[in-house]
Structures are given as structure tokens and as C-alpha cells.
Structure 1
Amino acid sequence: MTTPANTPPATTGVALPPGAGRRIVGGGLDATVKVGSDREPFASTFEVVVPPGYDVGAHVHHHGEEVFYVLQGRLDVLAFEPVDRSMPDWHEWESADGQRYLSGGPGAFLHVPPGVPHAFANTSGATTRVFFQSSVPGGHDNYFDELAEVLRAGAGHPDPAAVTDLRRRYDIEQLTSLRAPG
């Protein structure tokens, strides 16, 4: 990953107390940036609060990878190439070898290599907290800032064209719809 213009090389690490970091909130998105694109990281690092009803929608990053680790609550997760990408609900997807999505609680882990379709959703009635890292080009903190604006503007029903445009600029091919609680 290249260093953003005018960003000096990091000369110290990052040590933060619980709850510290830059918070990005809007339209169901609640992420606290722990390490962002301002520090030339190998990956942007976050603590993300996923509210009940939030579904990021299945998507693909062609040049970056991601890691998710459930800290609290439950999350439905998927990371495989489905037999049929055209099915509108990724919960119905199945891989060629019969794999389906996983619903996991604390300790559930997901690694997504570049080019692999993936998704997550909170279908429970309680808030979920997730440790999340993304090496997607452009800095995922910048993406989250812009996504929060799109979600706020849509009041829980984001404009599909705005989401598609945003994701295209951040190497994200959207396969199924994003749904935010509203």
C-alpha cells in the first residue's frame, strides 16, 4: 500500500485505550478507526458496531483482503464463490462444494482473500461488535466516511446508484443490496 500524499512515515506505533479512535457514525454505520490511512498501514483497522438488521450485501474486492473477528453478538458471514451469483439474497448462496454462510458468535472469524465474494449481516435482535481490518486500496476509513454520508442521506434506504458509485471508487463490486436499519 502506498503512503497518501503529505503523510509522513510512522515513527511510533499506536496504543489506544478501550473506546478510543476516530468514530464514524451514520445511517446504521458505527465504526471506530483504530489505524487509518493517515499512518501508512498495511490495513485499516476498526472496531465496528453492527446494528440488528444491517446487511452489507455481498461484494468483491479485486485488490484487497479483509479480516473479521466477532467480539460480541452474532454475525452471519460468507466468503466463497457461489454457484449462482444472481440470487438476490446471499443467505441462499451455496458454493460448488456445498458450503453455505456461517452464523457465529464471539470468536467467529472470517478471512477474505482478494477476488472472493463475501458478505456479513446482523440478523439477530442485538448489537454485534466486530474487529475488522481491510487492505482495500484507498483507505477503508475514507470509504466509511463517504458511506456514512450515503446512509444518512437515505435514512436507512440508501440510494443504490450512490452505493454503486461509491463502491466502484473503492474497488468494491456490489453483488447484492446493502440494507441498513431505518
Structure 2
Amino acid sequence: MTQTQRGYVLADQEGQAVWFLGTLSIIKAKSEQTQQAYGLHVEIVPPGAEPPAHRHRHQDEALYVLEGEVSIRCGEQEWRGGAGTFVFLPQGVPHAFQVEGSTPLKILIITSPGGTLGFEHFVEEMGTPAETNILPAPSPPDMEKLQRLVTKYEIEFVELP
């Protein structure tokens, strides 16, 4: 049996843990494990964090809030949600989010389709292996590396309307 023909189970803190742009990302499924259908990871984001607005040129992104509060913009739409909130962000549409409140945001992120340019590979390549399953100490990103990788993974930083 190949890897894609075998089921598996991972507990809450299990998976490949990566410190990624100030977050803790735990990769649960890579594209290679889903026959290139999708990648899936859980991301823990510190309070107040606001990643830059961006768009994925060839992937849809779905978020499911497990813990915390978040404000989300997708094109001209805006939403706010807490645990149990599902958000669909279509490919090509600029989007951004901000963690609200004083507790970290824990979200499940699914990007589809998968493939060699799957978002989980961007997380892996941009990040560093997490030494522990806690948020990393804040530090500025390596902007040269970030720009190179967003180009490689066909992600664009954009302004929201």
C-alpha cells in the first residue's frame, strides 16, 4: 500500500509542528497524503495578529475556527466569528484576518487543490521546525525569503478594497 492508500489518525497536538510567521502550525495532511486533493493544518495565532492581505492564485482556502475570535475580510465582505465559524475564501479573491480579543486563535485551514505548490508546503518551507508546541517568540520575518516563496507558491500580497 502507498501512503495515500492508508488511513491514519492524529491527536490534537500531533502532526508536523512548524513555527510559521509568528504562529504555530501543525500540519495534519499534506497533498501527497490526499492524492493531491488538499492540504490541512491547524494554526495557532497570537492575539492581535493580522497577517497581510493576500490572495492565492490557484487555491481555495477554508477556515474553521476551533477557539478564539477573528475578524475576516474577503474582497469587499467582512465577517466576525468565534468557535464553530466556517469561512470559505475563493481562489483569486484578496483576503485577510485579524485575531480579536486577548486569547490566541486556533483555526483549521484547508487549502485545495493540493499539489507540489500546496499551501502546507509554503508553511513548511517558510517556517522552521517547532521546538515545542507553543507559540514562538515574536520575531520579524525574513522578507527576502518570504518574497521568494510567495512568488514560488503563487501567493500575492494585495490591498483590500
TM-score normalised per structure 2: 0.79
Moved more, 66-75 or 23-32: 23-32
Higher fraction of strand: 2
Report the residue type matching 2:30 in the other structure. Answer: G
Change (3 A) 1:65 1:11: same
1:119 deviates by 1.1
Instruction: Give the match for residue 164 of structure 1.
Output: 147
Q: Which runs of 5+ in 2 are unaligned?
A: 129-137
Instruction: Give the match for residue 11 of structure 1.
Output: 5
Q: Which runs of 5+ in 1 are unaligned?
A: 1-7, 81-94, 150-154, 177-182
Secondary structure of the residue aligned to 2:72 is strand
Q: C-alpha distance in 1, partners of 2:21/2:5?
A: 35
Secondary structure of the residue aligned to 2:124 is helix
Of residues 54, 62, 66 in structure 1, which corresponds to 2:57?
62
Q: C-alpha distance in 1, partners of 2:142/2:64?
A: 29
Contact kept in structure 1, 2:54 and 2:155, CA below 8 Å? yes
Instruction: Give the match for residue 102 of structure 1.
Output: 79
Q: Give the length in aligned residue pairs.
A: 146
Q: C-alpha distance in 1, partners of 2:65/2:53?
A: 18
Secondary structure of the residue aligned to 1:69 is strand
Is 1:130 aligned to residue 107 of structure 2? yes
Instruction: Give the match for residue 117 of structure 1.
Output: 94
What CA RMSD, in Å, does the superposition of the two structures yield over aligned residues?
2.0
Secondary structure of the residue aligned to 1:47 is strand
TM-score normalised per structure 1: 0.71
Q: C-alpha distance in 2, partners of 1:70/1:162?
A: 29
**Greater C-alpha radius of gyration:** 1
1:54 deviates by 2.0
